[in-house]
Chains A and B, each alone.
Chain A
Amino acid sequence: MKTSYLKSSLVSMAIALAGMSGAQAAETIKVGILHSLSGTMAISETTLKDTMLMLIDEQNKKGGLLGMQLEPVVVDPASNWPLFAEKARELLSQEKVAAIFGNWTSVSRKSVLPVVEELNGLLFYPVQYEGEESSKNVFYTGAAPNQQAIPAVDYLMNDIGVKRWVLAGTDYVYPRTTNKILEAYLKAKGVADKDIMINYTPFGHSDWQSIVSEIKKFGSTGVKTAVVSTINGDANVPFYKELGNQGLSAEDIPVVAFSVGEEELSGIDTKPLVGHLAAWNYFMSVDAEANSGFIDAWKSFIKNDKRVTNDPMEAHYIGFNMWVKAVEKAGTTDSDAVQQAIIGVSVPNLTGGYSAMLPNHHVTKPVLIGEIQENGQFEVVWQTSGLVAGDAWSDFLPGSKDIIADWRAPLACGNYNVKTAKCSGQNYE
């Protein structure tokens, strides 16, 4: 009697345990976070990891997703591009995450791309990039060139009356492609060759004396001159310092930057930068209800009142909410179902409007131009009247102007050439 009771209770306990562990495994949805926490890119990417943790935490407090809790899986690809691919594989095949949020540099995205395509994963990429890409498995929530670079040039040309252009960038794929697009765009607008100066510098360049002096000479012809800067991260500080020291103020030669945001400004002495411009889809200073709520949530999550928010954080906010909404709509986290469901999903962005996922896996966003203020924030001086739809393939490059991306059936193609009516596969260069 006694033994049988013991036996039965043991059995029931075992069943209960098994049931519990089974239930627990089923109860969470894993979300992969693929951002460098060490190495050179840690400076920018650590913040995005924290943003994702906050968003997941908030979603869990709201009751999770499909009745299950979300479980973040954080890996550290250590600013090492091949390691990004390995870690993505680990996330998808071992951890079986429902979606990956990650990457910063284009080269890391290119390294992850074949992996997510092979394993049919979902990747949400939150940073402005050079375009010329649209993958079935990647969702680009940052700006395409037509959502950042082109409007910025339009602003300088029409509102400031700029006639001479310096395109300065760090020597890698994003600045090179962006500048190629801009050069084609400027020439289409009738700017002569002699009025465009293009300059590339190595990563982390710190001696800007000759280049700034050259810009000064280029800009002293009495015609309004501006610098369009795709200079990346670290090299910006010495660049702006040199501009300030050589007496080039934003009133003489404004610099509009695509990689300088609140986070970057928080690490530098902003005095020499006041008045210079940046083009983004979001600024921390934007006066909107959603934004102030987000800022408060971020400050209390990170437990630091001085931390700032920036554009890629907003991109993750948009991307994460789109994914949540698509999963709810599809009723499952299955990759194919979510890919179908997410197109057309529209969620609030932080600037007081809505962003929608387009068939080309890019999103609609407003474009804002801000002037740097002494407190490291931006003052919006111009913005597009409506939302700008992200264009995967630039209309200003000869190779890509006939190409469109549309992942809806029946086309379902990332690079469809409207002239030859061919879907040429993913490897268009």
Chain B
Amino acid sequence: MKPYNPEQISRHMSRLLNWILLLACLTAGQLPALYAAESDTPLHAAAELFKSKKFDQKYQAIQLLASDGSEQARAILVALMDSRLYTLKRDQRLIMLGRRSGSPDAVDAITGESVGNVARGAMNKITLNNRMRSQIRNALAMLDLRNPDKTKRLAAVNQLLDRPDAASAALIQSLLEQESDGQIREAMEIVIALGKLSSGDKTERLAAVELLDGNIHPAVRNGLLKLQQSTSDEAFAAEIKQVLDNIKATLQLYSLVENIFFGLSLGSVLVLAAIGLAITFGVMGVINMAHGELIMLGAYATYVMQLLMPEHIGAALLLSIPVAFVISGLVGIGIERGVIRFLYGRSLETLLATFGISLILQQTVRSIFSPLNRSVEAPSWMSGSWEINSALSLTLNRLYIIAFCLLVFAALFLVLKKTSLGLQVRAVSQNRAMARAMGVRSEWVDAMTFGLGSGIAGVAGVALSQLTNVGPNLGQSYIIDSFMVVVFGGVGNLWGTLVSGMGLGIANKFLEPWSGAVLAKILVLVFIILFIQKRPRGLFPQKGRAAEG
């Protein structure tokens, strides 16, 4: 049930009155008058304007609907925003499709009566452009200012804050009295203060500047900057400068936090891509050039899972983690058993053979899935960002991936330290002959270790499918970075991989704004080369007798 809203009721009343009047006209036999009265409403005028192909007329139509402000006008605006507004080809009637995509039921946009199932070919979509979208958004925000839902009201005020204009400021001023929620009042006061910045009254201006002190919304800064340039009063200008400096200092702090976040997120991608390699290359000493393709297989596994479960994108993503692990792991074991085990100790041949395998895997994927990139959808809980304030918002997909990276790292660490497989892996990698003498089946351990490393690569692929293209070349772009991270971190050390991945990520992100993306990559690479000259065993070299072995 809708809550009590006097304005709405009165609007309904007036519409009822209209109908009664119409009925009266009808009984009086004045049919033309009925016609005139019906097409005179703003809704009809807007519907007429929407039929035009010209955007100018559509802007006017939206204006009409916005000033009408009725429930039906709002519904039309929302439908237009969602691309559900069409005209019927046969009688040019404006219709709205149902909310669910693909739902066949359409209703007349003005009267709300059902027009039944309309075939795709029998209607024309009302096309939108960006200006219309922002116009509608603002119009809806103005209507939402009176919405009983608190979050909607706040969103509406914030929307108007993004694009401040005189009309919205006046409306907000008039609504300020009624507003009970503190947070919304605060936001409203900022909008009003922004409006007052250009006021003629000096004390009012000063009060507004003081109110805006410490606010980091871009609209505030822009308003103050404009005022600072236009004012002739020096003391006032100094006041503004003080406020602006405060804002600048706060912004710098947030941008530092943001940069660290960017670095950590890039780092977590590097760690995810490299951590499988840290096992196959680091622990076993196999140079596996097909590592990138194992990542790619994981990403394709995600794609296939989403194809199988088109209704549950999020669940498919979660399920594809074990699936990708198993697929890439099995392929990895296949590679180890089929090729690599014959080449242990001959690293150059291993490198060439696995490079060949990587090309075979790429072309296989190209033949099966076509050379085109495949579309992997992001579930809704992974899109958007966590807005801390207007200067700092952390994107959700990156947050999830950082957390995921740490989880995978922890799991792998536990497997290697706490399980018997982990013990055997470490034993074989430290001293194969001794381990065999103790009854460890070293061949089996080799296969399992390689499978584990490959499986982790597959899991990394699931994460990467959310960030980048899923295509046959996915793996290639990560193989160099992966080796870089493992070598820098110290071969055979998981902690080293974590620290070096995160470190390189942060270094890259701090260099990037200063040097550009291309140069930042080069600088990082040069740094690593120089570092390896000094410390060939990386950040965390293995110590003791194991290192010699």
Contacts and interface: CB of A to CB of B under 8 A. Distances in A.
Interface stretch (B90-98, B171-179, B326-334, B394-402): B394-402
A177 B24 CA distance: 72
Contacts of A221: 218, 222, 225
A379 B366 contact: no
A246 B261 CA distance: 13
Contacts of A211: 512, 517
Contact of B372 (A43, A245, A381): A43
A207 B401 CA distance: 13
Interface in B140-179: 162
B395 A245 contact: yes
A267 B375 contact: yes
Contacts of A268: 373, 375, 469
Contact of A373 (B83, B371, B469): B83
A202 B471 contact: no
A315 interface: no
Given A200-B516, A237-B373, A210 B222 contact: no
B218 A269 contact: no
A68 B60 CA distance: 59
B55 A267 contact: no
Interface in A364-410: 371, 373-374, 379, 381
B396 A381 contact: no
A386 to B, nearest CB: 18
A250 B395 contact: no
Interface string B366-391: 10000111111110000111010000
Given A202-B517, A251-B133, A251-B137, A246 B471 contact: no
B434 interface: no
Interface in B283-340: none
Nearest to A371: B129
A309 to B, nearest CB: 14
A275 B130 contact: yes
Interface in B213-246: 218-219, 221-223, 225-226
A42 B469 CA distance: 15
B509 A209 contact: yes
Contact of A245 (B223, B371, B383, B518): B383
A105 B246 CA distance: 49
A209 B372 contact: no
A214 B223 CA distance: 20
Contact of B378 (A160, A207, A241): A241
B468 A238 contact: yes
B85 to A, nearest CB: 14
A40 B373 CA distance: 11
A222 B258 contact: no
B473 A234 contact: yes
A220 interface: yes
Interface in A252-283: 252, 254, 263, 266-269, 271-272, 275
Contacts of B278: none
A160 B131 CA distance: 8
B133 A250 contact: yes
B547 interface: no
Contacts of A202: 517-518, 521
B372 A379 contact: no
Interface residues of A, number: 50
A247 interface: yes
A46 interface: yes
B129 A379 contact: yes
Interface string B451-480: 000000000000000011101010001000
Interface stretch (B71-79, B262-270, B526-534, B535-543): B262-270
Contacts of A210: 259, 262, 509, 512-513, 517
A208 to B, nearest CB: 9
Given A246-B393, A371-B129, A199 B516 contact: yes
Contacts of B385: 245-247
A32 B130 CA distance: 43
B219 A374 contact: no
Interface string A216-252: 0000111000000000001001100110111101111
A166 to B, nearest CB: 14
Interface string B343-384: 000000000000000000001001000011111111000011
Contact of B469 (A238, A245, A250, A275): A238
Contacts of B225: 221
Nearest to A376: B375
Contacts of B377: 269
B253 interface: no
Of A205, A252, A267, most buried by chain B (CB within 10 Å of CB) is A267
B128 interface: yes
Contacts of A246: 385, 393, 395
A213 interface: yes
A243 to B, nearest CB: 11
Contacts of B130: 160, 250-251, 254, 275, 371
Nearest to A285: B127
Nearest to B135: A251
Contact of B363 (A38, A222, A245, A371): A38
Given A210-B512, A222-B219, A251-B134, A200 B517 contact: yes
Contacts of B55: 381
B396 A209 contact: no
A394 B387 CA distance: 45
Interface in A137-172: 160, 171
Given A210-B512, A238-B468, A242-B395, 9 more contacts: A222-B222, A237-B373, A244-B384, A247-B393, A251-B134, A268-B373, A275-B129, A275-B130, A381-B55
10 contacts: A199-B517, A200-B518, A209-B262, A222-B223, A245-B397, A247-B393, A266-B375, A269-B376, A271-B383, A381-B129
Q: Closest 3 CB pairs between A and B?
A: A222-B222, A267-B373, A220-B218
Interface of A: 38, 40, 42-43, 46, 160, 171, 199-202, 204-207, 209-211, 213-214, 220-222, 234, 237-238, 241-242, 244-247, 249-252, 254, 263, 266-269, 271-272, 275, 371, 373-374, 379, 381
